[in-house]
Structure 1
Amino acid sequence: MPAETLLMVSGQPMAGPLLITPQVFGDDRGFFYESWNERRFRQDLIAAGVPAAEAEGLQFRQDNHSRSSRGVLRGLHFQLPPEPQGKLVRCSEGSIFDVAVDLRCTSPSYGQWVGATLSSENHQQLWVPVGFAHGFLTLSDVAEVQYKASGFWNRDCERSLRWDDPSMAIDWPLPQAGVSEPLLAAKDAEAPDLAALVAAGEVFP
């Protein structure tokens, strides 16, 4: 199934993030699908307008796995050069609301966000390219999330963006998660807003 370009709240497409729906083969015994296929992923990127040389040159450096309880919000996280990260995210148990925020200051969709529900039932994946902040809210009692990262984790490059910055107005489905306020790590609760990141020069060209 071809990857889809997600729409912003304004109804316009955002260049970069892709929602990928794999072909799942299932019967009364269970199911099987390819959670990662390098050739198909590169084809999806090229079909979405990524230059062929850039798509062919993309490599994943590490795989990450997290487990979160209901109402946990992780993010919004990103890494600056020299170790930026693109992330291919999926949820293998439970469900999450996954978000990407455009931090490319010359992009038409700068400061805008897109989101998608990823779950163990729909098997969908979200590609979050370099230049975007990423985060997710856990909607189920437990969610296990795996993602492939195109750069190694680097403490010096890691940054956080405030999850509830009013300038972005992300529509987090807190009622669906059954909470009025999300459960946050200390660094996420204290994260700067977008204006502070811009003032510090901590966004992308």
Structure 2
Amino acid sequence: MAEKLFGFGLGYLLRLVRGDQSLTLFIAAGAMMLLAAAVEVWGKRRYQAWLHAERGGHPPHEAKLSSLAADSLLSMAGALVAWGVIYGLLALAKGAIPAWDWPEQTDANPALAWLSLLVAYSIIIGLGWLHLLFVGRKLSLRPFWISFGTIWLLLAAYTLKLVYPLEGLHPGIYVLCGSISTAGTLLLWGLRDAEADAEDQAAEDRGAVNN
């Protein structure tokens, strides 16, 4: 299953790089990568500012330009890979649930590519909202996160239907896209928590050594 997933996704990305798809899709993908970089850099700065406000002490240090560039490049590459994985998931679902009357994926009408790209956009936007409104909350199984996941699933599915309406498309496809968006958003937020915990532990270790 994993091999098929990455095969579908990475195979499509290779076609995109070779220029087999439309220029509009290529530009939209580039904008998605830039948005991912912006949310990554802004989100880290916002989290550091929140941490400083919570703990007091010295102001958060300004990240070096090289560090910001590295974070931006990693987030852009990650967004591109995520798009490929999402496309792979939709391609697998198309084969597993043919009764949903999936749109045909052609070079002239790359419907699955656009759907997967919009799901990738929604994940990035979801992370942005979390950084804006709930920067200090850690992912858990508490009611807040269950409620957020449910609301984001419905909101993402409804927004995708408004932004990219396809005649005759089964509603389950939009619900599936919303589910992928929610899972991706929460997964990346959990990874952010893990990264923040690791950085905090490293800072504590350095402080203990200095003392």
TM-score, normalization by structure 2: 0.23
Q: Which structure has the greater CA radius of gyration? A: 2
Higher strand residue share: 1
Of Structure 1 and Structure 2, the greater helix share is in 2
